Amino acid sequence: MNDPRDCAAYATGQSDVRPWGRWLVVDKGADFAVKRIEVNPGQRLSLQYHAFRSEHWIIVGGKGAVSVDGREWTVKTGSYVFVPKSATHRVHNTGPETLVLLEVQTGERLRESDIVRIEDDYSR
């Protein structure tokens, strides 16, 4: 279940540590947010979707696997992934180093409460 405290829009500098790694908001505008996401080796984010935003991922370090609407493929430094609004998606670090990606969110509501988890390794 989503935490009711995170209903506010993202702010530059906002960050959080998660069981899979961490994220940091590096920039924010009226209808976009840019996050740096670090996924620890062997960890993966929940299988999830967003009702109000799409995401563009640029892999800037490490390697891993992604899934978008049931389609799966490997990614490495330089890979680019587009996640449309409402698409189920997940990223998994399959390498020995931290997987780092820049996530550019666009949409009408940019906040942590726009995460709908379908499967989660950490029982959130």
Reported as a single tens digit per residue, the pLDDT across 67-106 is 999 999 999 999 999 999 999 999 999 999 999 999 999 9
Domain membership flag for residue 3:
no
Total count of domains within the chain = 1
Within a 10 A sphere around the Cβ of 6, how many other Cβ atoms? Answer: 15
Q: Which residues pair with 76 in a beta bridge?
A: 63
Give the separation between CA 43 and CA 100, rounded to whole angstroms: 12
CA angle 43, 44, 45 (to 5 degrees): 140
pLDDT of residue 4: 43
Domain membership flag for residue 83:
yes
Domain membership flag for residue 124:
no
We report the CATH number of the domain holding residue 24 as 2.60.120.10
The alpha carbons of the chain give a radius of gyration, in whole angstroms, of 13
pLDDT of residue 7: 60
pLDDT of residue 3: 47
Residue 102, domain extent: 9-119
Q: Can you tell me whether residue 79 is helix, strand or coil?
A: coil
Read off the pLDDT band of 8 (50, 70, 90). Answer: confident
**pLDDT (tens digit per residue) in 32-62:** 999 999 999 999 999 999 999 999 999 999 9
pLDDT of residue 46: 97
Domain membership flag for residue 115:
yes
Q: Can you tell me whether residue 3 is helix, strand or coil?
A: coil
